[in-house]
Amino acid sequence: MSGGAPRRYLLVSPYFPPMSRIGGKRALHLCRNLPAFGWEPVVLAAPPRDGHVDPELEEMLPPGLVVSRGYAGPLRSLAHRWLRPERLPFQETRSVGRAPRMRDRTILGQDMGFVTPLDQYVFDLPGAVREGVALIRRRGLEAIQVSADPWSGFLAGLEMRRRTGVPLILDLRDPWSLQEAKMALRPAPTRAAVRWIEHAAFRRAARIVLNSEEAYRAYREAYRGRIPEERFTWVRNAFDLGLFRRTDAAPPATFTVLYFGRFQRFVRPHALLTAFANFVARAGVDPSEARLAFAGGLRTQDAAPIRELGLEDRVDRVGFVPYRDGLGALRSSHVLALVVPPSVQLQIPGKLFDYLAARRPILALSANREVDAILAETGSGLSAPYGDEGAAAARLGELYARFRRGESLDLDPAAVETYSAQAQARAMAAVLDEATA
Domain range list for the chain: 7-238+421-435, 242-418
- pLDDT tens track for 376-424: 999 999 999 999 999 999 999 999 999 999 988 788 889 999 999 999 9
Instruction: Determine the topology of domain 7-238+421-435 in CATH.
Output: Rossmann fold (3.40.50)
User: Which helix (H) or strand (E) covers residue 154, if one does?
Assistant: helix 152-164
pLDDT values of the chain reduced to their tens digit, one per residue, 437 residues: 556 789 999 999 999 999 988 899 999 999 999 999 999 999 999 998 766 789 999 999 999 999 999 998 766 655 555 554 444 433 333 333 343 344 455 554 556 678 889 988 998 999 999 999 999 999 999 999 999 999 999 999 999 999 999 999 999 999 999 999 999 999 999 999 999 999 999 999 999 999 999 999 999 999 999 999 999 999 999 999 999 998 888 889 999 999 998 888 889 999 999 999 999 999 999 999 999 999 987 888 888 999 999 999 999 998 888 999 999 999 999 999 999 999 899 999 999 999 999 999 999 999 999 999 999 999 999 999 999 999 999 999 999 999 999 988 788 889 999 999 999 999 999 999 999 99
**Cβ–Cβ contacts within 10 Å for residue 140, how many?**
10
Decide: 346 and 322 in contact? Cβ < 8 Å. Answer: no
**Cβ–Cβ contacts within 10 Å for residue 403, how many?**
20
CA distances (Å), origin 130, targets 144, 235, 246:
14, 29, 41
Q: Say which residues have a Cβ less than 8 Å from residue 335's Cβ, sequence separation at least 6.
A: 255, 256, 257, 258, 360, 361, 362, 363, 396, 399, 409
Sheet holding 168-172, edge to edge: 67-68, 39-44, 7-12, 144-148, 168-172, 207-210, 232-234
Residue of 146, 210, 214 lying closest to 10 (CA atoms): 146
Decide: 309 and 274 in contact? Cβ < 8 Å. Answer: yes
**What gap in Å lies between CA 192 and CA 90, rounded to an integer?**
16
Residue of 402, 434, 358, 433 lying closest to 6 (CA atoms): 433
3-state SS assignment for residue 120 = helix
**What gap in Å lies between CA 20 and CA 98, rounded to an integer?**
9
Architecture of the 242-418 domain: 3-Layer(aba) Sandwich (3.40)
**What gap in Å lies between CA 170 and CA 172, rounded to an integer?**
6
Decide: 169 and 432 in contact? Cβ < 8 Å. Answer: yes
pLDDT value for 79: 53
Write the Ramachandran bin of 253: left for phi over 0, alpha for psi from -120 to 50, otherwise beta: alpha
Domains 7-238+421-435 and 242-418 alike in fold: yes
